[in-house]
Amino acid sequence: MSFPPEPSGRVVVTGVGAVTPLGTGVDVFWPRILAGESGVRRVTNVDPTPYTTQVAAEVPDFNVEDWFCEGFDKKDARRMDRFLHFAIAASRQALDDSQIELSEDLKNECGVLIGTGVGGLNVMYDNTAFIHNGKPDRVSPFFVPYMIADMASGIVSIINDLRGPNHTVVSACSTGANAIGDSMEIIKRGDAVAMLAGGSEAAVNDIGIAGFCACRAMTNRNDEPEKASRPFDVDRDGFVMGEGCAVLLLEDRNHAIARGAKIYAELIGYGMSADAYHITSPHPEGRGAAKSMNMALRKAKLAPEQIDYINAHGTSTPVGDPMEVSAVKRVFGDHAYKLAMSSTKSMHGHCLGAAGAIESLICILAMRDGIMPPTINLDNPDPACDLNHVAHTAQKRELTYVLNNSFGFGGHNVSLIMTKGE
């Protein structure tokens, strides 16, 4: 086969990596998701006492030294933002899992697209404090490079010597899904043979918590952290902020088959839209959400009745959850009551720009294992949210086609459709 191979027009997932509030590595994270465990705790990164929300889904026991390699050592790590640490770790996992051999030719054809909703907020906060304290000379020369959003893609490219397309996506909480969808299109049109794609976020710090508290978007259920995120439940009162990263290695199907790669899934549909309504609130009738789902179905060449499972955006907000259910009913009609739709944010929180990537990974693993992850804390279902939300306990089902929804501040909507790998 000539190199680069003639594009097949089909894009598959051949490697996966994750850093999440339920652990680092798919083998740690996935069993805890299926068991319905919560990763939400009282905040430990900072003192949460001054804030109305004092809980979050933080990544536990993450040791950046585990990921040191040529081009990334203790000195580099100390200068970098936490969201970059996560991106490096998840990317390394995805490459190792794929067993891809990065020849000189392939390095020229392998790119990186890792998005973030917020970027280097820790670096931003720490260096701004020097200005406020009258010490501008203390601002780090690495402040700008390690604060800007594109550096997750940049640093992963540098460390791994990947010379293909390299950029980032910033679309708030749709970012991770956008990054995967855009990477799929890059490969389909022949601009790369493979792409590391995903999202990374680490915004659980003073300014991040204060900002979202000021938006009045987060839960105030501080006395029961594990029960704070409760999508589709009548007692929900806002989202729980999370942090983490997921990265997928996407690959042209011809190339993957030629090298004998294991194939987790195939990406077949990608829909995008805008609510054009409000900076933080979704359109109440879900018109943008419905449009993105319909677009994904059209590109996947599927009828609505073929979708088995939806991983919902499902943030546990009073307005957002019923809006999404309403949009699903508009798109799927009577089939909405036959498919299942759960929100894993009930367990890993809302990881902002990483959410769509983490949840796409969950969709892939659900198909692989024939099991749908639960929505925990769904004790008193909202009458407006009357679908099969896989309450409390994972449900076994053979899954052929799954859909992942991601919606973000600014009215961004993204829907991805995946099917089993062959």
Active site residues: 173, 313, 350
Q: What gap in Å lies between CA 196 and CA 207, rounded to an integer? A: 30
Q: What gap in Å lies between CA 382 and CA 96, rounded to an integer? A: 43
Facing residues of 201 across strands?
244
- Is it true that the peptide bond before 4 is cis, omega within 30 degrees of 0? yes
Provide the Cα torsion 371, 417, 323, 295; round to 10°. Answer: -160
CA within 13 Å, CB half, 28: 15
Strands 11-20 and 166-167: unpaired
Tokens at residue 392, please? 């409390």
